[in-house]
Every structure is written in C-alpha cells, then in structure tokens.
Amino acid sequence: MTNSAELEPYTFSSANSSIATVNQTTGVITGVANGTTTITMTGTTSGATKTITVNVTTLLPVTQAIIANNDLTVPVTEQITIIVSNTG
C-alpha cells in the first residue's frame, strides 16, 4: 500500500544551461551567466511537470529564495536548492 502523501521522485532540467544549470536529481540551481531560463521539474512516475522561470543576475549572494508566481532570481555563480514538499 502506498501512502498518497508521499512525494514521488523528481528530475530537474534547464532549458538553457548557458544561463543556469540544475542538478538533475537534487534540484540545485547554479547561475552561470546573466539571463533568463526555465527550470522544469518532472515526476518520474506520473510524468507531471512544473516549470519556473529563473532570472540570473549579478547581485549580492543569497542564502534563501522564495519562488513567487513561478519566478526565481539566482545570482551568477550562486546556487539555490529547490525543496519539494507536499502542501496539499
């Protein structure tokens, strides 16, 4: 029996790795150069997807980020980790 509240595994991908890379299994995003790209999270079982827009800029370092309206800003050469949780 599977607990419906458990999260399925996800994979992550970047639409433009010259702007930002993302670790396929951990979701850690690293800003590479100024610009905008899309990060996609895909459920490995369901195939369900969620995308966010990542804006990479030269800013002061960030220790925490909040995704608002599916947009996220990541400083160049900094890393942000996406944490997936079941809120519903």
The parent domain of residue 18 ranges over: 10-81
Distance from C-alpha of 65 to C-alpha of 21, rounded to nearest angstrom:
16
Does some domain include residue 23? yes
User: For residue range 67-76, what is the model confidence (pLDDT) as tens digits?
Assistant: 555 666 666 6
List of residues 6+ apart from 23 with CB closer than 8 A: 12
Percent of the chain whose pLDDT exceeds 70: 58
Average pLDDT for residues 61-69, to the nearest whole number?
A: 54
54 has a pLDDT exceeding 60? yes
Number of compact structural domains in the chain = 1
User: For residue range 7-36, what is the model confidence (pLDDT) as tens digits?
Assistant: 788 899 999 999 999 999 988 888 888 889
pLDDT classification of 40: cutoffs 50, 70, 90: very high
**Does 62 or 79 have the greater pLDDT score?**
79
Does some domain include residue 77? yes
**CATH number for the domain harbouring residue 26:** 2.60.40
Does some domain include residue 2? no
Distance from C-alpha of 39 to C-alpha of 70, rounded to nearest angstrom:
10
**Does 60 or 36 have the greater pLDDT score?**
36
44: amino acid identity, one letter: T
Does some domain include residue 74? yes
Distance from C-alpha of 70 to C-alpha of 27, rounded to nearest angstrom:
15
